[in-house]
Amino acid sequence: MKKCRLVSLDTSSTISGYAYFENAVYQDSDIICCAEEKDIYVRVENMCFRLVDVLNKYKPDIVVIEKPPYCGDPKTLILLAEIVGCVRGWTITQGFAEYVEYDPSRWRKLVADKDEKIPTKRKLCKPWDMLKAQAIIKRKPMDDNEADAVLIGQARIEEMKAINEEKE
């Protein structure tokens, strides 16, 4: 049976999280840290290279990424969009990888338990995300970037399960 490989990403220019799932089962996750680079343009380029390394390592059939949120600073939004564009470009050049973007409210809704209150304030999201991810990976995530990457991947899995159940 062919393995279905999914890589999910929570990206930023300083620290990005990634998670790898195989046949809808969590396998691995980590963070990529480029925070030591002070030049923002070099840092974004380094992050893009390191994300491509992750994608080349796992060769996913599905790539799921968080949409860059509008943060009030157009320069930051443009740089985040460049990182997301790099990932999207990788999927296009591979010719086989499905590409999916979620905004934070969407992926949190997909991983929440039925009737669970989902936090909306950043300060409350972080501990919620950490606990939800810990239940999946069976250890404390390194930080909220790793936790979010795990949950973004799990969101896609939950969405596909729901779609498949509807078809049956």
DSSP secondary structure, 75-122, as one string: HHHHHHHHHHHHHHHHHHHHSS-EEEEE-HHHHHHHHSPTTPPPP-SH
State the burial class of residue 82 (Cβ atoms within 10 Å of its Cβ: 0-12, 13-18, 19+): middle
Tens digit of each residue's pLDDT (9 = 90 or more) over 82-111: 999 999 999 999 988 899 999 999 999 999
State the burial class of residue 102 (Cβ atoms within 10 Å of its Cβ: 0-12, 13-18, 19+): buried
- Binned at pLDDT 50, 70 and 90, residue 55 comes out as very high
- Binned at pLDDT 50, 70 and 90, residue 72 comes out as confident
Tens digit of each residue's pLDDT (9 = 90 or more) over 126-161: 999 999 999 999 999 999 999 999 999 999 999 999
- Beta carbons within 10 angstroms of residue 64's beta carbon: 27
**Tokens 């992926």 identify what position?**
107
Residue 1: per-residue pLDDT: 62
Residue 3: per-residue pLDDT: 87
Mean pLDDT of the region 4-30: 97
Residue 89: per-residue pLDDT: 96
Torsion of CA 82, 37, 64, 139, to 10 degrees: -170
Listed residue (18, 48, 57) closest to 153, CA to CA:
18
Between 23 and 165, name the one with better pLDDT: 23
Q: What are the residue ranges spanned by the domains of the chain?
A: 5-167
Residues in the chain: 168
Q: What CATH number does the domain located at 5-167 have?
A: 3.30.420.10
Tens digit of each residue's pLDDT (9 = 90 or more) over 30-48: 999 999 999 999 999 999 9
Q: Which residues contact 167 (CB under 8 A, 6 or more apart)?
A: none
Tens digit of each residue's pLDDT (9 = 90 or more) over 19-31: 999 999 999 999 9
